[in-house]
Amino acid sequence: MSSIPKIVILGAGYGGILTSLRLQKELNYNEADVTLVNKHDYHYITTHLHMPAAGTDHPDNARVNISKLIDEFKIDFVKSTVVQIRPQDRKVILEDGTLSYDYLVIALGGEPETFGIPGLAEHAFTIRSINSVRLIREHIEYQFARYKREPHRTDYLTFIVGGAGFTGIEFIGELADRVPDLCKQFDVDRSLVKIYNIEAAPTALPGFDPELVEYGMQVLQKKGVIFKIGTAIRECTPEGVVVGEGEEIKSQTVIWTGGVRGNRLIEEAGFETTRGRVKVDEYLRSPGHENIYVLGDNSLMFNEEGRPYPPTAQIAMQQGVNCAHNLVAQIRNQTPKPFVFSNKGTVASLGKGEAIGIAFGKKYKGRVASWLKKAIDLRYLFIIGGIPLVLRKGKFL
């Protein structure tokens, strides 16, 4: 190792950005060279992407310039795409250069998991980035315009959301709110617009409180959402989807929110993975690599019941804080701290003024849950950017 250790952080999502911010707070000047690599020059708030995707908010409100978050005297930011990770050489290959490291943090984010369903990767949209939600928004508006030219094509006005997890439910809540405005804008009969939510599991929001799930489904059904629960998508085609025992639903818009896997770069690097995720040790390190930490969608951790934690923003943030602490401890030859997840609660938006959630051991629904969702979003802005960011972005979330 060099006299000043080199820390390279791959990805500026929740895990990567929290690791960076904590390191710049805890490290002394010249105690380590820290480099943050991200393919965009902004950090985007993944839990807010469902709104610009539906068109109920502007995409720019879901992103924050990285330069406004980090101290350039403590963190070097490199805008580039990671091409390869070489743990045996302690190097990361970028599209335009190479970085060597003493300590590596892999927080590259996940990729859509299609579970091998034919046609999904080719024909479905996914809510995964600022660019992807901009495309979805423009596509939805385009379908209304197309219908006005070809009024016999009602499939233009049929929207299918595959998956009834948090992303799917939050998106259809926003889309259902947006439809009346689009109908008014394009002079389209609202009764012609169909929004389907298709979920293979026996319930929407699997694993969530059944009472709140029932309330949420009722709210969305009143907004016009058609649920097909316990129904698997068998195939996605250019004409729509095939579900269940062969039923075809014609649509020009299929949005897949049914799962996330880890990153293929991790598999290609030779790490032992499950669906692209590394089963990390109690300190968030990759087994056999005491200098490599893996966070967020790229990591696999199990709770006391032996079930994997879902890859949420909440767990990625807590991992980032713990990872930074352990990196500092490692550099200073101090004792690392095991990661222990503290569940602060979960809230799902159902559109304007409606949400469901569990926090502080209590159930919340309706407007109160919606306020709670807002408070959680504001808290995150405060954590990464303080009062200035809250004042600048808070009104949009």
Q: How far apart, in whole angstroms, are the C-alpha atoms of residue 299 and residue 261?
A: 10
3-state secondary structure of 322: helix
Written as one letter, the residue type at 351 is: G
Q: How far apart, in whole angstroms, are the C-alpha atoms of residue 123 and residue 118?
A: 10
For residue 138, give Cα distances in angstroms to 7, 42, 52. 40, 22, 10
SS3 breakdown of the chain: % helix, strand, coil, rounded to 5? 40, 25, 35
Q: Which two tokens stand for residue 148?
A: 């006005």
With CA atoms as reference, report the closest residue to 69 among 397, 386, 284: 386
Written as one letter, the residue type at 273 is: T
Name the β-bridge partners of 198. Answer: 162, 228
In eight-state DSSP terms, residue 52 is H
Q: How far apart, in whole angstroms, are the C-alpha atoms of residue 340 and residue 303?
A: 9
CB 272 within 8 A of CB 128: no
**Alpha-helical segments (H) within the chain:** 14-26, 50-54, 120-123, 130-149, 166-186, 210-222, 264-268, 313-331, 367-393
Catalytic residue among 26, 150, 170, 282: 170
Q: How far apart, in whole angstroms, are the C-alpha atoms of residue 218 and residue 215?
A: 5
**170 carries an active-site annotation:** yes
Residues assigned a catalytic role: 170
